[in-house]
Amino acid sequence: MARSKSSHRWLREHFSDPFVKKAQAEGLRSRAAYKLEELIERDRLLKPGMTVVDLGAAPGGWSQYVRQAMGDRGVVVAMDILEMPGLAGVDFIHGDFRADDAVSRLDAALGGRAVDLVLSDMAPNMSGVDAVDQPRAMYLAELARDFAQDHLAPGGAFLTKLFQGEGFDAYVLDLKRRYSRVVIRKPAASRRRSNEVYALAQGKR
């Protein structure tokens, strides 16, 4: 099947992307690692020995960065509905975060540990129809928020991808009720034409 013009345009953009080239040169699994790197360094989110959960982890760029940044100390548990090749020091759970059995397996992997940092780069498969995509994206963000609420230690932090649109303002307002500090970030590695941003909530009440 011939590729559409939009597919060709995406491929040209992808392979000319400086962050894609940098990730390939540095042996990182995805350009998304640079989004996380900027956010973590700017807000000093990561310390050795932390317990970190990475939701929507495949292909593993965020988990890879966190594991390298913490060295041998700390725990990293990752989950995705897609398969992810193994990473040393990362406990990966293949499952749908929307399903209770998958969350139960995630809980078991944590072994009762309180979590210091919840990361969520989850996003639905985009149809290009805002009226469909935005509710799906907000639903995943709400699930991640609820997981963080139940599992974060007091003072813990939550970082999640959001798409600006219906439900965005109410979601951010809700985070402000749950955390002492909430900011919206747009990392340099996030493509300018994308309406994705990241909400960082620190100091779980």
Listed in order, strand segments (DSSP E) in 87-147 are 90-94, 115-120
- Write the pLDDT tens digit of every residue in 134-158: 999 999 999 999 999 999 999 999 9
Of 5, 21, 161, 176, the active-site residue reads: 161
Question: Active-site residue 47, yes or no?
Answer: no
Tokens representing residue 7 in the block: 């597919």
In the sheet with 115-120, reading across from the earlier edge strand, the strands are 90-94, 75-80, 51-55, 115-120, 152-163, 196-204, 179-185
Q: Is the pLDDT of residue 204 over 50?
A: yes
Closest alpha carbon to 47 in 20, 84, 74: 74
Which residue reads 């939009």 in tokens?
Answer: 6
Tokens representing residue 60 in the block: 């593993």
Answer for the pair 179, 25: CB distance below 8 angstroms, yes or no.
no
CA of 72: how far to CAs of 7, 67, 89, 197, in Å? 40, 8, 8, 30
CA of 70: how far to CAs of 26, 52, 93, 192, in Å? 18, 10, 20, 30
| 80 is an annotated ligand-binding site residue | yes
pLDDT of residue 203: 98
| 167 is an annotated ligand-binding site residue | no
pLDDT of residue 33: 82
| 150 is an annotated ligand-binding site residue | no
* C-alpha to C-alpha distance for 56 and 140, rounded to whole angstroms: 10
CATH number (domain holding residue 129)? 3.40.50.150
For residue 86, the SS3 value is coil
The residue ranking higher by pLDDT, 203 or 23, is: 203
Which residue pairs from 24-32 have beta carbons closer than 8 angstroms and sit at least 24 positions apart in sequence? 28/61, 28/64, 28/65, 29/59, 29/60, 29/61, 29/64, 30/59, 30/60, 30/61, 31/61, 31/189, 32/61, 32/62, 32/121, 32/189
Which residues constitute the domain of residue 180?
A: 5-204
**Domain count of the chain?**
1
| 60 is an annotated ligand-binding site residue | yes
Give pTM, 2 decimals. 0.87
Q: Packing angle between helix 130-151 and helix 168-178, nearest 10 degrees?
A: 10
| 89 is an annotated ligand-binding site residue | no
The stretch 14-26 carries a mean pLDDT of: 55
Tokens representing residue 44 in the block: 């000093």
Q: In whole numbers, what is the pLDDT of the chain averaged over residues?
A: 89
